[in-house]
Chain A
Amino acid sequence: MLEMNHISKSFGNLEVLKDISIQVDQGKVIVVIGPSGSGKTTLLRCLNVLERPEKGEVTIDDQTIDFSEKLDKKTIRELRKQTGMVFQNYNLFPHLSVIENIMEGPVTVQKIDKQQAREVAMRLLEKVGLGDKADVYPHQLSGGQQQRVGIARAMAIDPKVMLFDEPTSALDPELIGEVLQVMKDLAEEGMTMVVVTHEMNFAKDVADEVVFMDEGYIVERGAPVDVFENPKEERTKRFLNLIQQ
């Protein structure tokens, strides 16, 4: 379904991803954890080519991109249409109303009829619990609400995989739950997801696999119970101790 094979990415002399490979089966949720600067965001961004790795392959569904070859923009856009990205700081379009934010992808990119796009957007909005906020602007919403709109916007292009980059880390504690709940619902509906998060309870409840990254390597991976309860690697233990304090 989703595969990343031997991906390497550097910024100048700094090697941020070192020969990373992951596979996610259809309908599975994989949670990526790791200290700051370990390359989690970069990994996600490589999956939808917001960053260009120097080496390796990404496969989503039946489309494969080999980064050692020359890529045209169209191929990259095709891959992006298969992935929905949810950003840490939402990145909603401030000049568009909530419903217009969600309709933007379907209307502009997929050329879907406006009326039809509005219906789809409305259904998504209701799904994230914001059916009554269609016509307000993003700045009129709380952070948690904005992030839920962000999820709906990403879902609107009907992606095969959803990518989340610390979707709750910019939120006040009391708003985190509502966003995690929406993500949980998505997982239960069978969405394939890659989630970077430090919400351990979410990882335990929802993840099929947890990946621990450090310094551009995957240090350890496995079922949540194994990684959290019985980490094998010293670095994993240290990290888990640190965040559980």
Chain B
Amino acid sequence: MGSLDLSQLQHLWWLLVSVVGALFVFLTFVQGGQGLLLTIARTDTEKSLVVNSLGKKWELTFTTLVLFGGAFFAAFPLFYSTSFGGAYWVWMLILFTFIVQAVSYEYRRKPDNFLGAKTYEVFLFINGTVGVLLIGAAVGTFFTGSNFSLSEYNFVTWEHPGRGIEAAFSLFNLSFGIFMVFLARVLGALYLNNNIEHEVLIERTRDAAFKNLLLLLPFLLYVLYRLLVMDGYAVDPATGVVSLEKGKYLSNLLAMPINGLGFLLVGLVLVVWGVVATRFMASRKGIWFAGLGTVLVVLAVFSIAGYNNTAFYPSKFDLQSSLTIGNASSSHYTLATMSYIALAIPFVLAYVWYVWSLLDKRKLTEADLFVEGSDEKY
């Protein structure tokens, strides 16, 4: 690791951050499922099945989000300080939706829970919709830019009174956010379809996956169209000067035929295939296709945002304050040290995978809810 030069390490860490981000978006099937809870589950038993099925996974999603934040802090601290300190309100609101999520599974059905089951269900719904939407809007600013300036000591001043909320009022960012919400729902429906053995729910999740795919399409198309034609923030590798470039993201896509255009197209096809196979061929494995597809799409999005001499967190207020993987990263020593630590990632993925295949060997059934000493605690 020490033998890699700084720029290689920066590229490596952008990849690692992207991978964590991509896994997170895949895992928002939990949020998607929460958004669907009130529509697809009508009886108490159905609700319990859905909540218990999601309830086993919510922490995995949550932890991945925390790791995503941590990895950004670690590898690109200037992004962490600029964006969290600057776009204050958007992050605060996102955090709030995750705070209320964290207690809801555990407390929803416990006696004497102060707020009542309904409130906790609303918390889950808010997290599954508003939370995901705002995350999408925040990621949208990777392309549309924000209003901030950095001092010579790299201290941030946010130049818009919305302090981040303004991000949600750009059509592009908003569409990106809504796209993420429907994508999460597609994934949620496919996950539940795979995880629960219950005729009615299988039927409903199958329909829900398809409906939400249709709802997602217009937003996806708009985002894609804008991405192809919009001006992008290019950085001159020799001088570090940032400038607006016509069709920058289109040229990035083309410049990265594999991890740009390739991942994007294959990813989208896989997502659609996962839904189609579920809806029309009664497959129960749609989540795996759509999940992999989602990971590829997100990797492509991060690639065109950060690679190929692009500013990944641009400032439209002051172009030269824009953040690139070159100027926002940790030092060579720190990136190299962390790379040694990151060698453990495959091992971690392996045991996570192993444990879940063990726990999910048997699908969740109605009978599981009622056995003596049941594990289904929610």
A binds B: no
Using a CB–CB cutoff of 8 Å, the interface residues on chain B facing chain A are: none
